[in-house]
Every structure is written in C-alpha cells, then in structure tokens.
Structure 1
C-alpha cells in the first residue's frame, strides 16, 4: 500500500470515528432529555427510574440522596429507610480520584450536564461503611444532569452510573 493510500485510509478511519462519536453523543443527549422529561412529567418516584438497569441517584444540592433505584440500592447495600432518613450523602465520600464528581454536581445546579469517564469505583461513594462488596465495581462512567421542574427551576440533581 502506498503512503498516499495509507494516509487516505487513516483519514477515512478518523472521519468514521468522528461520526461514531457524534452519534453516541446524540444518543446520550436524547437519553438524558427523555429522562428529564419523564421526571418532570411523572415526578421523582415513578417506575422507570426504579426499574432502570443502571444505578441512578437523585439528590439534593448538598449531595443528600432522596431517591435511589433498585440497582443502586442492591449494589451499594443501601437500605431504602437510610435514603428516606437522609443518611446517605455521597459528596462526603468523594476521593481524590473522583474529585471531578464535585464539580459535576456543582455544574448540575447551574443547568449543565456532565459526562465523566474513567472514574475510580464510583459506586463506593454510596456504599455504607460497614459493607464490603463481593463484586467488582464495573462502573467507570457517570452522567450528571439537572432535574428541572415545570417552572424551569432546578429542583434536584441526578447521576446515572454506566459501564
């Protein structure tokens, strides 16, 4: 293969990768907008969040969980009563490795959506001190987005962990 053809092939590959990235970003944006709309229309405690296949947390500005779906409850060994009693504050468990989470949460309440990748054991921010998971934490990414009320006020933040 000549140099010119290999450069052309490389350029074609780069263009295809860029197109794939753009498609992925559009899908993620669509997922977030759909989730926001569902929350806005149905309220925080509806079945779609509860049965979603990835861990989802809904929280206040200070990091206090007000809702966690069944996957997050199960994987982090959180008792629903602990969430109801305001005992789970994931911001108090941020490590140096996951410090970007703090900025992402701050940005939520400015109306921003953030995707963080290569997080170190993000599930550990929710795990109770007296629980050691017997499974590997295979979640490495998280998307943070605002929960907007019908009057466009940001009432809560949401985080969805992803593999």
Structure 2
C-alpha cells in the first residue's frame, strides 16, 4: 500500500519562528518534509514553505488483523501502539542543513476503519490537508479530521495482474 500526502496552503518560506524557549522571533528559510522513523535527520523530499503545494508518496504495508488494519513502513512512526506520520518543519541554512523546529503528526489511528481497509485493498491511502495553522504559521501537533481528509484510491501505477485483465 502507498500513503500519499497532498498538502496545500503552505505558510510561507520566511515565516517568523521562535528561537529558543522564550527568545525573539526572526525570519528563517522554512521547509517541510516527511521524517523517517527513528531517524529525525533523514527527511523525504523537503519542500519550501512558500510552495504552491507539496506531495509525498510513502511505501508501506497494510496487514488486516483482529483489531483492524495495521500500517507499517519506513516513514510510519509507532509510539505506544499509535501509528502516525511526522511532517517535520525546519529551517535550511546556506549549506543546505535542515534544522527541525516543529512537527505535525498525521494520526493514522484517526483514519476511519472502512477507509483504511479500502485503501489496503485499492492500494493508496490519501491524506489531504492545509499546512497553515490558524495563526498563519506552520501546522503542528496532532492533525486529525476535519483538518485532514482521508480517502482510499486505486493504485493506478500498480502492475496489472492476470485476474485484473
């Protein structure tokens, strides 16, 4: 199964971000990327904060079990049995080094069970969301419906199997 994240309404590339706990704010080069599980420095496809949109496609496995569909993969986090995907916000310096300052969690346990089961059958679980918070900054914390819409779609790039012909 694939997870495709389709994001719009990014907050901007030079949005002020807090420096230190209570320090002043200053404009920085803001980017967003998907963080690999257990490797916060390994990021998938960073997009500038002023991009018109951002899309990521993650490979994963979906296994039906007695408690529902379990999703695992290199970009699926697992904390206390709750699966989610991190969208990491950071600044990028002149050398291209990404320094994270905030994260958003796309909570997979908030995907309706029927949508997740259908996505496992069809091949793609799609998350659609805006990435600007109500204050105009980068979206952070737990992201749950209605701030994200989850749908199942057929994987149109999957190889055709004999039974599909």
TM-score bracket for the superposition, by shorter chain length: under 0.3
Q: Which has the higher helix share?
A: 1
Larger radius of gyration: 1
Normalization by structure 1: what TM-score?
0.27
Q: Which has the higher strand share?
A: 2
Question: Quick one: higher RCO (CA 8 Å, sep 6+), 1 or 2?
Answer: 2
Normalization by structure 2: what TM-score?
0.26
